[in-house]
Structure 1
Amino acid sequence: MKVLLLILESFRFAMNALRENILRTVLSLLGVTVGIFSIIGVYTMVDSLESNIKGSLSSIGTNVIYVQKWPWFFGGGDYPWWKYFMRPEPKYDEFKYLKENLEHAQSVAMMDFSSGVSCKKGSNSIEALCQGITYDFTDITEVPIVNGRYFAPQEVESGRNVAILGADISDALFPDSDPIGQSFKMKGQTLTVIGIQERKGKQIADFGGEPDQKVYIPFLAHKRIFSSGEPYGDIVLKGFDTDEGLLELEGETTGLMRTKRGLRPTQEDNFALNRPEAAAAALGQLFGTIRTSGFFIGLFSLLIGGFGIANIMFVSVKERTNIIGIQKSLGAKNFFILFQFLFESVFLCLIGGFFGILLVYLLSFLPLGSLDIILTSSNIIFGLIIASIIGVVSGIIPAWQAARLDPVIAIRSK
């Protein structure tokens, strides 16, 4: 009960200070408001951007390994670029070999891309990203069908001219009719539409291409239409959830690929095993650096705001010295006076922090294309905690001075 009365009394004093010196208080709170806005604004933007990009990364598969010619990251070593250039591309027979022999893979698929492909239906045309895939691709990266169906195994194995269209491609080629069962032209070939993919919308970073502007066709059909010679592309492996870090799958794949390519023990690998998790980790480090930089930039504004709050508290102690003396003469303990001014300092900083967070919340309503700004509860709590800490740091010395005042000297101050 005493604690509640103490809080109510401190709250009353804080409100009186606000009402009596509104202009001075507002100007002092601006530093806290700008500082909290800077820190939480940066955190919110980075979190939203990271969520968007990682969501796009998940579209190329989770818990997967890509067998490719080029590594996604070259590391810090001095490795001549021509060694990577001279590597052979993963071939279709290597995909079949891995599919038959891998024991630590749930699914094995192969894919390849061709960009800027013109698709035509009558007078309608659009450029698309054509992706050739094998049957198990849908087990690695979901291909959600809203109309029609996915490929049949026989269609993939024989490389038939069938296609699954992204939402934008479907709307452009067949604006007024159901595309299922209809045909369109692509590089002189006639393809039959068997499915339409669910609309996903545009993301800031569309790894693997924007889904709504894709045309999926069987891998062998893609190689027949767009290239000649031995079919090649990227091999994608999905591991089991029990394989922590995919270490077993990575080791088994390395051994099988070296065997298939006839590499001697002294020869280095002539293929790369790439993982989306590595890209996500690199992005996480980058976003962490941005967060830290934003925190320290906003901290300067908070320090200025803290000086302003401390100034208010020193002035408030001086103005209320007589009242402090009366309170102490009536039996008020030092901790009561200390808490009273400390609560007032924290309360003022929380008001500044609240308005800073409010500005970030209003920022979330600005249209920024495909980036959705989301102010999370964790960032709100973090902002309020930072504001409270600034309040304690700014008010502790004035509150300590007020608590240490001699009641007789304090009463005689007027």
Structure 2
Amino acid sequence: MQFINLVWESIRFAMQALKSNLTRTVLSLLGVTVGIFAIIAVFTLVDSLEKNIKSSFTFLGTNVVTVNRFFFVGGPDYPWWKFIRRPYNTYSEYLFLRENLKNSEAVSFSASANTTVQQASNAFQGADLTGITYTYQDVYDLPLQSGRFFTESEISSARNVALIGTKIASTLFPGTDALGKEIKIKGRKFVVVGIFEEEGEGLFEIASKDQAIMIPYFSFTKLFFVGKNGIEPSIAVKGLESDIGLVSLENELVGLMRAKRGLKPAEEDNFSLNKSEFLMDTIGSVFDVISGAGWVIGGFSILVGGFGIANIMFVSVRERTNIIGIQKSLGAKNYFILFQFLFEAIFLSLIGGFAGLLIVYALTFIQLGSLELILSLKNIVLGIGIASVIGLVSGLVPAIVAARLDPVEAIRAT
């Protein structure tokens, strides 16, 4: 009960301080408001950007390792001309890995190219065409809005069937259902058997399935030359959930690929293993730097705001010296006076913090195209926490000064 009374009295004194000199208080709290706004605004923007970018790369899959000639991100300092000389993946290597890998859920083989798709007088340019094996659906998530996936016989017999994205479907078949209809790819007719779920436009539209087409791999090879001096195919392997970091899968992949390609112990690997986590980690590290910059920018503003609150509290102690003396003469303990001013400083800082959060929240209503700003609960709690700490630190010294006042001298003060 005493604690509640203490908090209520501190709030009452804080409100009186606000009303007595509103201009001084607002100017002093402005530093905290700007500081909290700067930090939380940067964190909100960073979180939203990171979420948007990472969602744009969902086509990479999770727990997936791909076998390629090049490293997508990172990798050793290796001359580019050595990468060029590396052999292309082959279908026989895919079959070998599928039969021998123990630390994997599934293995797929695919090749991609950009092309133009036609239907009567309608055409869609820049479609992402991919030839896939039947196991592709086991490695990557392929949600369908309507229709079905390929059958195993359609894949093995190279049937002219296709899965298309919603943007392609609406362009080629405006106002009508594309299922069961024919489209033309490089003069060959393909029957649409499925339509992908709409993903919408992200920061990286190339990753969207809305403009993607998938056909059986051997149907793809009838349209494009795959292999050396042609399109480079990719082997993708989905690891086990129990394989933390996919370490076991990577070690097994290296051993099997070296054995299949007949590499001697002293010879270097002539292939690269790429994990989707590599790219995600790189993106995360970039945004960590941006977050650090946000701390620096907001930190200076918060520092100024902290000095402003400390100034208010020193002035408040001086103005209420007589009251402090009377409270002590009536039996108020030192900790009561101490907590009274500490709570008041924290309350004043929280006002500035909530004002900064309110401005950030208002910014989330601004339309930024495909980027959606979201003020997360984590950032709200962080902002309130920072404001509370600043209030505590700023009010500590003035509170100690007030608690140590001699009651007789305090009552005599004018």
Q: TM-score, normalised by structure 1?
A: 0.96
Gaps of 5+ in 1: none
Superposition map of 1:65-76 within 5 A: 65-75=65-75
How far residue 57 of structure 1 moved from its aligned partner, in angstroms, is 3.1
Alignment-derived partner of residue 263 in structure 1: 263
How far residue 382 of structure 1 moved from its aligned partner, in angstroms, is 0.9
Cα distance in 1 for partners of 2:330, 2:274 equals 75
Q: Deviations over 1:19-68 (max 9, x none)?
A: 11111111111110010011111111111122222223333211111011
Q: TM-score, normalised by structure 2?
A: 0.96
Alignment-derived partner of residue 277 in structure 1: 277
Cα distance in 2 for partners of 1:291, 1:228 equals 44
Gaps of 5+ in 2: none
Superposition map of 1:307-322 within 5 A: 307-322=307-322
Alignment-derived partner of residue 43 in structure 1: 43
How far residue 144 of structure 1 moved from its aligned partner, in angstroms, is 1.1
Cα distance in 2 for partners of 1:129, 1:55 equals 18
Q: Deviations over 1:267-290 (max 9, x none)?
A: 010001110112222222222222
Alignment-derived partner of residue 380 in structure 2: 380
Letter in 2 for 1:88: P
Cα distance in 1 for partners of 2:116, 2:236 equals 27
Letter in 2 for 1:321: T
Partner of 1:264: helix, strand, or coil? Answer: coil
Sequence identity (%): 52
- Preserved contact between residue 353 and residue 384 of structure 2 (Cα < 8 Å): yes
Alignment-derived partner of residue 122 in structure 2: 124
Partner of 1:179: helix, strand, or coil? Answer: coil
- Preserved contact between residue 40 and residue 379 of structure 2 (Cα < 8 Å): yes
Letter in 2 for 1:107: A
Cα distance in 1 for partners of 2:130, 2:369 equals 26
Superposition map of 1:54-133 within 5 A: 54-75=54-75, 77-115=76-114, 117-127=115-125, 128-133=127-132
Cα distance in 1 for partners of 2:46, 2:335 equals 42
How far residue 400 of structure 1 moved from its aligned partner, in angstroms, is 1.2
1:235 to 1:228, Cα distance in 2 relative to 1, 3 A: closer
- Preserved contact between residue 349 and residue 387 of structure 2 (Cα < 8 Å): yes
Q: Deviations over 1:227-286 (max 9, x none)?
A: 266785000011221222222221221111111111111101000111011222222222
- Preserved contact between residue 135 and residue 153 of structure 1 (Cα < 8 Å): yes
Letter in 1 for 2:88: E
Alignment-derived partner of residue 214 in structure 2: 216
Cα distance in 1 for partners of 2:290, 2:326 equals 52
**Equivalent residue pairs, number:** 411
Alignment-derived partner of residue 16 in structure 1: 16
Partner of 1:287: helix, strand, or coil? Answer: helix
Letter in 1 for 2:97: L
- Between 50-59 and 274-283, the greater mean CA deviation after superposition: 50-59
Letter in 2 for 1:21: N
- Preserved contact between residue 325 and residue 410 of structure 1 (Cα < 8 Å): yes
Partner of 1:59: helix, strand, or coil? Answer: helix
How far residue 353 of structure 1 moved from its aligned partner, in angstroms, is 0.3
Q: Deviations over 1:276-306 (max 9, x none)?
A: 1122222222222221221121000001111
Q: What is the Cα-based RMSD across aligned positions, in Å? A: 1.5
Partner of 2:60: helix, strand, or coil? Answer: coil
Cα distance in 2 for partners of 1:205, 1:341 equals 52
Letter in 1 for 2:399: A
How far residue 351 of structure 1 moved from its aligned partner, in angstroms, is 0.5
Partner of 2:124: helix, strand, or coil? Answer: strand
Alignment-derived partner of residue 137 in structure 1: 136
- Preserved contact between residue 90 and residue 227 of structure 2 (Cα < 8 Å): no
Partner of 1:143: helix, strand, or coil? Answer: coil
Alignment-derived partner of residue 190 in structure 1: 189
- Preserved contact between residue 29 and residue 352 of structure 2 (Cα < 8 Å): yes
Superposition map of 1:292-311 within 5 A: 292-311=292-311
Letter in 2 for 1:134: T
Cα distance in 1 for partners of 2:338, 2:382 equals 25
Partner of 2:184: helix, strand, or coil? Answer: strand
How far residue 170 of structure 1 moved from its aligned partner, in angstroms, is 0.3
1:335 to 1:185, Cα distance in 2 relative to 1, 3 A: same
Letter in 2 for 1:320: R
Partner of 2:180: helix, strand, or coil? Answer: coil
Cα distance in 1 for partners of 2:351, 2:304 equals 16
Cα distance in 2 for partners of 1:70, 1:229 equals 15
